[in-house]
Structure 1
Amino acid sequence: MEGGGDAAGEGTVTFATWIRRPENAHLAVIGKSQPSSLEVFSFDPRANSLSTSPKAKHEFEEGVNPVTIAVHPSGDNFVCSTNTGDCKLFRLYYREDNIELKTEELVPLQGLGLQKCLAFSVDGTRFATGGVDGCLRIFEWPNMRIILNEPSAHKSFQDMDFSLDSAFLASTSTDGSARVWNTTDGSPITTLTRNSDEKIGYCRFSKDGTKPFLFCSVQRGNTALTVVWDISTWQKIGHKRLLRKPASIMSVSLDGKYLALGSKDGDICVVEVKTMEVRHLSKRLHLASNIKSLEFCPSERIILSTSAEWGAVVTKLTVPADWKGLLLLLLLLLLLL
């Protein structure tokens, strides 16, 4: 299989995401069920692979399964929702080469019901939850002051994402609608316009720091599109067929240069945001399996993806090298001459 392969150990992989660390010593946290656990792995960028055994592990009690996760931008803690309707806070303690994982129960996150979506704002000052019951909650972080508690935000949550400046939260519903919220006071800003035959699926804000956009996967009848909204007016400005099949997940790289889409049958395409051209395509990466999570490495052109059948897979992207990296390499070669 293309990429670094499955993380070792028992259990069905539920999700995987990166934990950003200084000096590019990033980690990956993987949630599993049957048996249920959270495992933290180190990452070797030279080998494009995760460590063969976890650096830290948390085993859930019987009957408790992890559902989804959000990692704080600091890399010091993350929140995981469970099938029992509670969310757990995990703190990471780093001591030389050892990692200790400790749990805390935050009272405002207990008994919320099943939470399908969790997200931290880019600046780390906001935390949002989106439930299967359609309720949206936005909290200040870390004091947990409630900004918004909207029980009827959606029919049922599908996806959510914070804007680069952390001022907006976009959210999508299983009924194909999408809304945008002000994260300062929780007020609704707009409901994205769509045609009667269009269903909005997944959403990601642009993150490159130039003109801000909102990208959404849209199913128009039998046609899969990626649609772009201008967030200064919340009007559609264009669309393009990129993945050419229904999307199951969407992701944007930390520097905002690339947008990735995963399909329900295991394909991944990576698009250069500036040109909206496909720069990498992995067909059948998770053969005939729904891609459940998809995350760019914070510092490398590498993607971590998961599916229930194939587990967690690390894939090196065949995208053009960054000119800054090439310039540094050229300078190094000149110094060695």
Structure 2
Amino acid sequence: MSSSCLPELLTRVNFPLYNVGVLSPRHIIVGGGGVKNGFEIFELSHNGRNTEAESVCRHETGEFAVMNLTTGRYKEADQSNVVAVGQDDKCQTFRVQMTRQKISQPNGATKQNGPQSSVQTRLIFKVTALKSVQTDFNMPEPYQKVCRISPDGSLLATGGDDGFLRIWTFPDLFRAHEVEAHEKEIDDLDFSPDNAKILTVSKDRSATVWDARKGKKHAVLGWDPPGSAKYMFKRARFARVEGSNKNYKIFSISNPVGASKPPSYLQRFDGKTCLMEQLVSFSGSLSALAVSDNGHYVATGSMFDGTIEIFVAFNLQRLKRVEKAHSTFVTGLEFLPSGESSDVIRGFNDCSVVSISVDHQICIHHVPQMRKMSMVLAFFIMAGILICVFILCSYLGL
């Protein structure tokens, strides 16, 4: 299933895109900026052939481009989410509440006092600014580069140019830990499925696992690059194993450093020992990484030609390759939720991953369900094989 496929365009926006997140099984959020800065929410649907996207909310962030964002649950009862957005050296949080808006439409009927109207509703999102806190202090130009809300919604982790990992209680944003984690800026971070660990990736070429509750170093990802080449971790993600929050792997992408052109790699590490188990090589550098919420699939995006590739997580078998899905480098990837809640949106495919780029395009890529052989068909095939073997043996006099 590794042959090249054509990209499926969801929609285009009028600003370069830098990040993507999931708000619900049928809603995604994208952020970016340039001439216009902000984030936009899209509702996904499926028309029987393709997945479609309709904009349901656009929130402008003034002078601040949305270079990094993360999503989390605010209140389960009223279907509210929280979006945390990097704004230079600060992290600004927003409440995103799903609500209904009434729409009056004339139905053509008339009364003595004029035309009669029918009242319909449509789904919209109301965005309310919450709290802002400074998260980076690298003088003279502090800058937050990444933020992530823990799976249980109790913590927020931020990283930036000063190399400090800062862990905040969420959503009130009181600082719980401040860790001098790296010698250079932090490019990426992620929470483990059980909320206990945080993984940071830095331009000092290291990837480190931290105890989220204590703010202490737990382990460093270890691997021996081939030859004398130097490598830098670019992105890293935790992934559940067999649906367990306590049992997980770590996936990362690493690019070569310097003028030479050795391959880049997708790597899988053991979650307990932090030692590398398997890797897959690529001819060009990688820019984006995503893991499905059930831990079954991994996706990568290329740095130069916009290619998307999807793999089986447990053996890194390549399932799908979409060449030039974007006209330039991939800035973000996000899998749609697995399970029945998003089956229809995914077109009942095994998985679907959304990709974005500074080319203003939002694309989606599906992996079809594996065909399952019925027991009856399997029985007839086995019976046929046995009959053929019996006939061959009789012919040979065995």
| TM-score, normalisation: structure 2 | 0.72
User: Aligned partners of 2:18 and 2:276: how far apart in 1?
Assistant: 34
User: Aligned partners of 1:198 and 1:264: how far apart in 2?
Assistant: 15
Structure 1 residue 314 displacement after superposition: 2.4
1:170-189 Cα deviation digits (max 9, x unpaired): 11112321111000111111
CA contact (8 A) 1:172 1:201 kept: yes
Matched to 2:238, the amino acid is: F
- The range that moved more, 24-33 or 155-164, is 24-33
Q: Match for residue 298 of structure 2?
A: 259
Aligned with 1:148 (options 154, 177, 186): 177
The answer to whether the aligner puts 1:215 opposite 2:218 as a matched pair is no
User: Aligned partners of 2:253 and 2:137: how far apart in 1?
Assistant: 31
Name the Cα RMSD after superposition. Answer: 2.5
Instruction: Please list every run of 5 or more consecutive structure 2 residues that lacks an aligned counterpart in the other structure.
Output: 1-5, 75-79, 101-122, 375-398
CA contact (8 A) 1:226 1:239 kept: yes
Aligned with 2:362 (options 300, 313, 319): 313
**3-state SS of the aligned residue for 1:320?**
coil
User: Aligned partners of 2:291 and 2:371: how far apart in 1?
Assistant: 16
Matched to 1:205, the amino acid is: F
Structure 1 residue 240 displacement after superposition: 2.6
Structure 1 residue 131 displacement after superposition: 0.3
Q: Match for residue 280 of structure 1?
A: 320
User: Aligned partners of 2:188 and 2:133: how far apart in 1?
Assistant: 24
Instruction: Please list every run of 5 or more consecutive structure 1 residues that lacks an aligned counterpart in the other structure.
Output: 327-337
Q: Match for residue 352 of structure 2?
A: 302
Matched to 1:103, the amino acid is: A
CA contact (8 A) 1:302 1:314 kept: no
Aligned with 1:240 (options 277, 280, 288): 280
1:177-209 Cα deviation digits (max 9, x unpaired): 111100011111122224363322211111243
Q: Match for residue 199 of structure 1?
A: 232
What's the % identity of the aligned pairs?
21
The structure richer in strand per residue is: 2
The answer to whether the aligner puts 1:79 opposite 2:128 as a matched pair is no
Aligned positions of 1:1-337 closer than 5 A: 2-8=7-13, 10-20=14-24, 24-46=25-47, 47-51=50-54, 54-61=55-62, 63-73=63-73, 76-82=81-87, 84-96=88-100, 97-107=123-133, 113-195=142-224, 197-208=230-241, 209=243, 211-219=247-255, 222-241=262-281, 243-265=282-304, 266-287=306-327, 289-298=328-337, 299=342, 300=346, 301-309=351-359, 311-321=360-370
Structure 1 residue 228 displacement after superposition: 2.0
The structure-2 alpha-carbon separation of the partners of 1:186 and 1:93, relative to structure 1 and needing over 3 Å to count, comes to same
| TM-score, normalisation: structure 1 | 0.84
The structure with the larger Rg is 2
User: Aligned partners of 2:371 and 2:194: how far apart in 1?
Assistant: 24
User: Aligned partners of 1:162 and 1:176: how far apart in 2?
Assistant: 19
Structure 1 residue 73 displacement after superposition: 4.5
User: Aligned partners of 1:259 and 1:125: how far apart in 2?
Assistant: 26
Structure 1 residue 154 displacement after superposition: 4.1
